């Protein structure tokens, strides 16, 4: 077994602290890479606090992982020692079901193996994430990253990037569409970058008036403060698509009202409580309320290649792993500009 250093939550109440654990030896189809950077997603916080469902503890969070390959199994074809490698929110799936065959491993009918707080496909071995020094993953779930990009700023693409890229591609959002992005955090700021890159007219809908300048710098054409009733009223019936990235409980009806007839609101944020939707919010204007989860492996590679071609990365604030709690506290307050990334060299 491979001795691994990481930061773990021992239960939903304790703060993260150093923890040593074991990863499997590199199998014939596995890639091992040393982690250089790992992004901090709001899902990490939801999960270590049991905000969605009871978690598997000790929990080592982190699913925005990049690093350098140090070992490959005998049958590995696409990676060699020294390559840059990345892993996102999944480390395995059945590879056989209808959805896996359609490159939609995130919707694997047997259940994919999440990078942490989940089980390997054997149904019993817990998975541990990227707040750690090294990781072993089967080749099919390891992504290639261009040497051209700033690696630390690439890390958040593995979750925040693909989670916003995938629905915008699926619903073919682009030229001629008015897109509203709700919540300017990790996911939201990537939603803005992709919306702009795909040619949409992008508005940021935020609770933080202070973020207007940043929103415009990210490429958004417009900014709307959702706590300002007059601004909200003026925006009724104006969006073709709304991408909702909000992590906390909020009123979905307010945003549905802002859609045009036949508009679609796509939820990617996962608040802990179910939302209350008034039927009137969707029947008036034949509106759709939809959702989307991360993206498949092929699409994640497509997104990384698109980012390399168009020079798109995340806007990040690098942190020392010992400051993870401060990063979480700031994240809860919406004070993220726009993704914390852990410099794994600080994990001693």
Q: Which residues bind ligand NAP (CB under 6 A)?
A: 41-43, 46, 159-160, 163, 183-188, 206-208, 211, 245-248, 250, 268-270, 293-294, 331, 334, 336
Q: What one-character DSSP code corresponds to residue 95?
A: S
Residue 76's φ and ψ, nearest 5 degrees, are: -70, 130
Q: Does the footprint of Zn ion cover residue 159 (CB under 5 A)?
A: yes
Residue with smaller CB distance to ligand NAP, 320 or 329: 329
Mask 282-311, x = binds Zn ion (CB under 5 A)? ------------------------------
Residue 57 Cβ vs Zn ion, minimum distance, rounded to whole Å: 19
Q: How far is the CB of 38 from Zn ion (least distance, A)?
A: 11
Listed ranges 18-26, 153-161, 192-200, 240-248: which one lies at the site for Zn ion (CB under 5 A) = 153-161
3-state secondary structure of 180: strand
Tell me the residue number closest to ligand NAP, measured at CB.
185
Strand order in the sheet with 259-267: 222-225, 201-206, 178-182, 239-244, 259-267, 288-291
Instruction: Assess 41 for contact with Zn ion (CB under 5 A).
Output: yes
SS3 100: helix
Compute the least distance from the CB of residue 322 to ligand NAP, in Å: 21
Q: What are phi and psi of 55, to 5 degrees?
A: -90, 175
- Residue 347, token pair as written in the block: 């994990």
Residues 6+ apart with CB under 8 A from 142: 31, 33, 79, 85, 86, 87
DSSP 13: S
Q: Which among 46, 41, 49 has a CA at the least distance from the CA of 15?
A: 49
Q: Does 132 bind Zn ion (CB under 5 A)?
A: no
Q: Which two tokens stand for residue 224?
A: 């709307």
User: Residue 268 is encoded by which pair of tokens?
Assistant: 């990617």
Least CB distance to Zn ion at residue 314 (A): 12
Rank residues 159 and 342 by Cβ distance to Zn ion and give the closer one.
159
Which residue's CB comes closest to Zn ion?
A: 41
CB of 280 to ligand NAP, least distance (A): 21
Structure-block tokens of residue 9: 């939550």
Residue choice 43, 47, 164, 247 for contact with Zn ion (CB under 5 A): 43
Which parts of this chain interact with Zn ion (CB under 5 A)? 41, 43, 159
């Amino acid at each position: 077994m491979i001795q691994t250093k990481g930061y773990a939550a021992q239960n939903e109440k304790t703060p993260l602290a150093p923890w040593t654990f074991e990863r499997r030896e590199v199998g014939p189809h596995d890639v091992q890479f040393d982690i250089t950077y790992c992004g901090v997603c709001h899902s990490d916080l939801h999960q270590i606090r049991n905000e969605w469902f009871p978690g598997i503890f000790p929990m080592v969070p982190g699913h925005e992982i990049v690093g350098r390959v140090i070992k490959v199994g005998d049958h590995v074809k696409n990676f060699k020692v020294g390559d840059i490698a990345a892993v996102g929110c999944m480390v395995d799936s059945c590879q056989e079901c209808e959805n896996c065959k359609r490159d939609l491993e995130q919707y694997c009918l047997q259940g994919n193996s999440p990078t942490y707080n989940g089980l390997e496909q054997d149904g019993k071995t817990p998975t541990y994430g990227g707040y750690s020094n090294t990781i072993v993953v089967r080749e099919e779930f390891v992504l290639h990253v261009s040497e051209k990009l700033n690696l630390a700023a690439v890390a958040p693409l593995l979750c925040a990037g693909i989670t916003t890229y995938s629905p915008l591609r699926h619903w073919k959002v682009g030229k001629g569409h008015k897109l509203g992005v709700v919540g300017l955090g990790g996911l939201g700021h990537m939603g803005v970058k992709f919306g702009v890159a795909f040619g949409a007219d992008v508005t940021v809908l935020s609770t933080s008036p202070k973020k207007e300048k940043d929103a415009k710098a990210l490429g958004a054409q417009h900014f709307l403060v959702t706590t300002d009733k007059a601004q909200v009223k003026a925006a009724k019936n104006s969006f073709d698509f709304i991408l909702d990235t909000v992590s906390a409980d909020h009123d979905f009806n307010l945003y549905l009202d802002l859609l045009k007839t036949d508009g679609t609101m796509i939820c990617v944020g996962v608040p802990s409580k179910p939302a209350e939707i008034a039927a009137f919010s969707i029947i008036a204007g034949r509106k759709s309320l939809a959702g989307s989860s991360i993206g498949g492996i092929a699409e994640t590679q497509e997104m990384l290649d698109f980012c390399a071609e168009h020079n798109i990365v995340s806007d990040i604030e690098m942190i020392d792993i010992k400051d993870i709690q401060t990063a979480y506290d700031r994240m809860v307050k919406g004070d993220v500009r726009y993704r914390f990334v852990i410099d794994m060299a600080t994990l001693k």
